[in-house]
Structure 1
Amino acid sequence: MNNGLKTCFLNVKQKAKKIKKEIGALYLAYKRDDVPFYAKLVSILVVGYALSPIDLIPDFIPILGYVDDLILIPLGIMFAVKLIPTHIMNECRQQSENVFKKGKPKNWIVGGIIICIWVIIIAYILLKFIRVKINV
């Protein structure tokens, strides 16, 4: 059992490193002039969401809180990678080894979008609650 748990932990660790490298490569691809606009847009949204301390589904919500980290980010990466030409993505992967050595780049725009989504959801819930309470 201990050996199986160790193997599982190593697999998760390798996948996390691969995701980190892909995020770095997408960040570098976003900065290039030879990447199409739509690919840049998707790339920066994925990178911004992956690096943002604010999640669409907060981590403190049981089970669902980690769904975005485990499903949404890898799906976003796959989608963005498909939009970028293969030779460009390969170059960016080679360069991405040290892209986050100095820390994560800040993307306040994506963080602001996520905050706006949460404000809208909370306002909608509060308005529904107030209307139900008034009608009772």
Structure 2
Amino acid sequence: MSKVNLQWLQKKVQKLKRETLTIYAALRDKRTPLIAKIFAAITVAYLFSPIDLIPDFIPVLGLLDDLILVPILIKVTISLIPNELYDDIKSKINAEESLQKKWYLAIPIILIYSVLLLILYFKFFKNET
């Protein structure tokens, strides 16, 4: 891959990260319409979830869902947020500190997976003893 293509890809990834932060903030904003909040929740959950539609270990296809599905989810979610609200949220994010530094945002996802693992353990492995 040439240096120009790599730089283009890095810019696209950075743009997607900024859009994701804006979508997350829109999810928490009470002015956001309900349908936009639903799509924002789906988008954020898919992005943070370690489970993909197509597992990443499958060559080529595993990355295609991330390359196709994630941008589509982001575009649809953004299109459902009114432009004025989206611009307002985006400007607030640029003015505030980055949400990426807030490691505690991962706690709900860690808790969900911990509960799922406990359920699986008690359902399948606890009966063997």
TM over 0.5: yes
**1:35: which partner in 2?**
32
24, 35, 46: which one pairs with 1:49? 46
What secondary structure is seen at the aligned counterpart in 2 of 1:100? helix
Q: Which runs of 4+ in 1 moved over 4 A?
A: none
TM-score by length of 2: 0.75
Q: TM-score, normalised by structure 1?
A: 0.72
TM-fit CA distance, 1:102: 2.3
Q: 1:37 to 1:29 in 2, by over 3 A?
A: same
Q: Structure 2, unaligned stretches of length 5 or more?
A: 117-129
CA distance in 1, matches of 2:37, 2:46: 14
- Asked if 1:8 is matched to 2:19, the reply is no
2:61 partner amino acid? L
Gap regions ≥5 residues in structure 1: 116-136
Q: 2:15 aligns with which of 8, 15, 18?
A: 18
- Which secondary structure does the structure 2 equivalent of 1:79 belong to? helix
In structure 1, the partner of 2:123 is none
For residue 64 of structure 1, report the CA deviation from its aligned partner: 0.8
Look up the match of 1:103. 103
Q: Tell me whether 1:79 sits opposite 2:54 in the alignment.
A: no
**Which amino acid in 2 is paired with 1:19?**
L
Task: Report the residue type matching 1:102 in the other structure.
Answer: K
Larger radius of gyration: 1
Q: State percent identity of aligned pairs.
A: 34
